Amino acid sequence: MNLLLATWDSNLRLSLELLLGEEPGVSIVGTASEGQGLMALMHSTSPDMVIADWELPGRSISEILANVQELVPPPAFIFLIQNMADRPETFPAGVDAFLLTGDPPDKLLAAFRRLREKSANLN
């Protein structure tokens, strides 16, 4: 599984790389710190999944999600948010999960594994 990570927080990005890089069959194909870089990497790396900040600087979420729909197949998307109150009432098209930035690693791993299995079953 090709995984792309995008967060403005370099410590969080490194933590995600270390945590998810240990998952069997996972290849981290790129990291970005802002929306423009994320969009470029999505097109150049064809990720199966993206984990990104909900408030990534440089591009709006609507631009990023519209860009995702151009990819075939579109990647699964986990967004990290600071506060669950910031989460939209309904998941926008292309969003598979929301997690709190400060959630324990096992919660992120559970969501990641669930989406990876779902993706594998679709192929």
Q: Which is nearest to 58 in space by CA: 99, 8, 5?
A: 8
pLDDT at residue 90, as a whole number = 64
Rounded to whole angstroms, how far apart are CA atoms 123 and 32?
Answer: 27
Give the pLDDT band (50/70/90) at residue 5.
Answer: very high
Rounded to whole angstroms, how far apart are CA atoms 81 and 101?
Answer: 6
pLDDT at residue 64, as a whole number = 84
Are the CB atoms for 26 and 1 separated by under 8 Å?
yes
- Summarised one tens digit per residue, pLDDT across range 15-37 is 999 999 999 999 999 999 999 99
Mean pLDDT (whole number) for 77-98: 80
SS3 101: coil
- Summarised one tens digit per residue, pLDDT across range 39-87 is 999 989 989 999 999 888 888 888 888 877 778 888 889 999 888 777 7
Token pair, residue 4, equals 């792309």
Q: Residue 5 — φ and ψ, nearest 5°? A: -115, 140
Question: Which domains are seen in the chain, by residue range?
Answer: 2-122 (3.40.50.2300)
SS3 116: helix
Rounded to whole angstroms, how far apart are CA atoms 17 and 51?
Answer: 11
Token pair, residue 37, equals 């870089």
Flag whether pLDDT at 122 surpasses 80.
Answer: no
